[in-house]
Structure formats: C-alpha cells, structure tokens
C-alpha cells in the first residue's frame, strides 16, 4: 500500500526516477506541532523523502495504518 494521497499535491505530481509515480511509505519520524502532525515519508523505489503535514483529524484517521507500515522492514534505507 502506498501513501501518496497523504502528500501534498505537487509531491504527487513529481515523478520517480525509477519510472512512474513515487511509492511513498511512512517512516517512524512523526512530529506533532500545535497545528498539525508532520509525518515523514520515503519512496520505496528511489529513497526520496517527503513530509506530509496532516491536520489532527486526518492524522487520527490514518494513525494506525501509518504506525503499522512505519514499523515494517520496508524501511530498509536506514532511517
Ligand atoms: Zn520515487
């Protein structure tokens, strides 16, 4: 499962050097601020990092799935 839909629109339009769209998976880097929750994502194909700034309700909806994937061995780029 990729998480591209959580990223900013311009980031979704950016093409992966490996071909096609990036395949973003969450890392365990999650940072809460007053206004939003910043979640760091990494493309599993090219390693590109991108940060999604989610508002609190959106983060709550996606929290479980983010945590599930963030703990995975998908994260083999050495965060
Ligand atoms: Zn990529």
Please provide the average confidence, as pLDDT, over all residues in the chain: 90
Let me know the angle formed at the C-alpha of 72 by 12 and 61, rounded to the nearest 5 degrees.
Answer: 55
Residue extents of the structural domains in the chain: 4-70
Ion ligand 1: residues, Cβ under 5 Å: 16, 22, 43, 45-46, 48
At 78 the pLDDT is 47
pLDDT in tens, 22-52: 999 999 999 999 889 999 999 999 999 999 9
- Residue 14 CA, ligand 1 centroid: distance in Å: 9
pTM greater than 0.95: no
State in Å, rounded, how far the first CA of the chain is from the last one.
Answer: 20
- Residue 49: C-alpha distances to residues 7, 13, 17 (Å): 11, 15, 13
């Amino acid at each position: 499962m990729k998480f591209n839909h959580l990223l900013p629109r311009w980031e979704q339009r950016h093409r992966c050097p490996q071909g096609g769209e990036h395949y973003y998976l969450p890392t365990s880097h999650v940072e809460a601020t007053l206004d939003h929750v910043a979640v760091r994502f990494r493309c599993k194909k090219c390693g590109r990092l991108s940060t999604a700034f989610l508002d609190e309700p959106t983060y709550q909806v996606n929290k479980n799935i983010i945590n599930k994937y963030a703990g995975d061995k998908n994260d083999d780029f050495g965060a």
